[in-house]
Amino acid sequence: MKIWGFVAITMMFFVAFLLPAGGSHGADAHEGHGHGTEKSDLDRPVDEMWKEKCEHDILQYTCEECRFELGTVKLVPDLLAGNGKPGIVATGKSGSRKVAESRTFTGEVKLSEGKTVHIASPLPGVIRRVFVDIGATVPEDAPLFEIDSHDVAESKGDYLKKVAARDLAKTSAEREATLFAKKISAQVEVQEAQARLAAAEIEVTSARGRLLRLGIPKAEIDAMDPTSPDSMSGELTVHAPSGGVVLERHVSVGERVESGKELILLSDLSEVWVWADLRESDVPAMAGKVNGGVKFDAEVRSPAGGKPYRGTLDVLSGTMNEQTRTVKARIVVPNPDGHLRPGMFVNIRVFLPGGGSVLAVPKVAVLSDEGRTFVFVHKEGDYWVRRPVTLGRRFEDMVEIRRGLAPGQTIIADGSFLLKSDVLRRKMGAGCAD
């Protein structure tokens, strides 16, 4: 019983709110008051309405009770934003805007191959430590994992032996040079000693290069001491060659790995590639220009909603899918917030140049009522009146106006729904019939 009582009270309030006071007063009651017409204000010239008087014997557009029937709103300046002043309503002007023909496609987000690294084990060994996990964001040169390899220890030992041999050859060459200066040894002995030193230098450079290719830092190589057991360790830390997000990890502590096995997939997701599926009929309009170096602006949006991402279409595939009869097109998209994830399906709009210019206004400026579209246009002073418009193409956050406005007219660009609510008071019982 409590529920039914609540429903009854709610319905009574709803009816009381929608119906005008006085029972029969309302939109129908306006007939016979001598200040209106059955025609909608959207179908009447503004100059005609501006001369009309209401039952209060004043110009109807100035009447606080009757102006709604003319689709007119009086907007105090305090509500308008502008010149750095905040406000809940913003004005603007209808103007010419360049547009481009656009075509829509579907596609899939992929990794940017230029910013993706497949990190493999540089040599066989046992994984001792893993420093990162899936989803981690790592900077360039961050440690990824540590491997213990016999090849590392052997390479270090080989390097230290060659360094010792070079030092010995250097001492011998200096001694022979001293003896030759004292006329104790022959010049040929000096030359032989210098040749042995040069060969030893080459051996050291080769062994050092191998350590560098294994990923051992220069500072660590320079600090190697043949008398220290640590210098002969087989442990090697593999570092990130670039910053990015760890997308895959195929390595665990204690695992034995072979040289070349891919262990970590690292990618910088601040940029992604979106591969669009172009229909066969769309290819001729793009292929020649793209192959000639022309790039197309594109917009990528998730079907789940959210903001659009702008990118550039710069590559068309050289082959066509025989089953789907589509051609792949690559769109490079900046993704600074990382919201576009590899594997996501997206909707794509590609803009073709050469679309000309049209008269346009912001989409939020256009409203509708009973199947009619309109915008609020400034008439004079604080008065704004709604005017019907015919819409054309929509692009980005703008819409083409094919009829109803002239270039340079001042309109309500944002917040016009507040003015619409004011006008619709007459449909909810307000106006001169009260």
| Residue-range domain boundaries for the chain | 60-97+357-428, 101-113+269-352, 121-267
- pLDDT score recorded for residue 431: 44
> CA–CA distance from 331 to each of 108, 199, 254, 351, 389 (Å)?
10, 53, 42, 12, 36
Asked whether 299 and 105 are in contact (CB, 8 A), the reply is no
- Highest mean predicted confidence (pLDDT) among 63-67, 218-222, 304-308, 372-376: 372-376
Quickly tell me which residue has 């390097």 as its tokens. Answer: 159
pLDDT at 355 over 80: no
pLDDT of 199 strictly over 70: yes
Q: Give residue-wise pLDDT tens across range 244-298.
A: 999 999 999 999 999 889 999 999 999 999 999 999 888 887 887 777 778 888 9
Name the CATH code of domain 60-97+357-428 (choices 2.40.420.20, 1.10.10.60, 3.30.420.40, 3.20.20.70): 2.40.420.20
| Residue 122, pLDDT score | 86
* Residue found under tokens 């910053």: 243
Tell me how far apart the alpha carbons of residues 200 and 193 are, in angstroms, rounded to a whole number. Answer: 11
Tracing tokens 């190697």 back to the chain, one arrives at 224
Quote the CA–CA distance of 224 and 209 in Å, as a whole number: 15
Q: How confident is the model at residue 206 (pLDDT cuts 50, 70, 90)?
A: very high
Superfamily covering domain 101-113+269-352: Efflux pump adaptor protein, beta barrel domain (2.40.30.170)
Determine the pLDDT at residue 390: 93
Residue 296 to residue 314: CA distance in whole angstroms: 7
pTM, entire model: 0.56
| The pLDDT value given to residue 38 | 65
CA–CA separation, 366 and 19 (whole Å): 28
What's the CA gap between 161 and 407, in Å, rounded?
Answer: 85
Signed CA dihedral, 182, 183, 185, 189: sign only: positive
The mean predicted confidence, pLDDT, of the chain is 83
Angle at 121 between CA 119 and CA 126, to 5 degrees: 135
Rounded Cα distance between 312 and 297, Å, is: 5
26: pLDDT confidence band, cut at 50, 70 and 90? very low
Helices (H), 137-239: 150-181, 187-214, 218-222
Q: Return the pLDDT at 79.
A: 80
pLDDT at 187: 86
Short-list 351, 316, 308, CA closest to 333 = 308
Q: CA–CA separation, 422 vs 420, rounded Å? A: 5
CA-to-CA distance for 256 and 252, rounded, in angstroms? 9
φ, ψ (nearest 5 deg) of residue 260 = 90, -5
Q: Is the dihedral of CA 252, 258, 262, 266 positive or negative?
A: positive
What pLDDT is attached to residue 348? 94
As a whole number of angstroms, the distance between CA 430 and CA 49 comes to 19
| pLDDT tens column, 383-403 | 889 999 999 888 767 888 999
Taking alpha carbons only, the member of 55, 31, 65, 49 closest to residue 385 is: 49
Q: What is the pLDDT of residue 11?
A: 33
Higher pLDDT, 231 or 245: 245
Class of domain 121-267 as given by CATH: mainly beta
Residues 6+ apart with CB under 8 A from 182: none
Q: Say if 60-97+357-428 and 101-113+269-352 have the same CATH topology.
A: no
Torsion angle of C-alpha atoms 340, 342, 347, 350, degrees rounded to 10: 90
* pLDDT at residue 301 is higher than 80: yes
197-222: average pLDDT = 89
Q: What is the pLDDT of residue 147?
A: 92
| Partners of 396 in the β-ladder | none
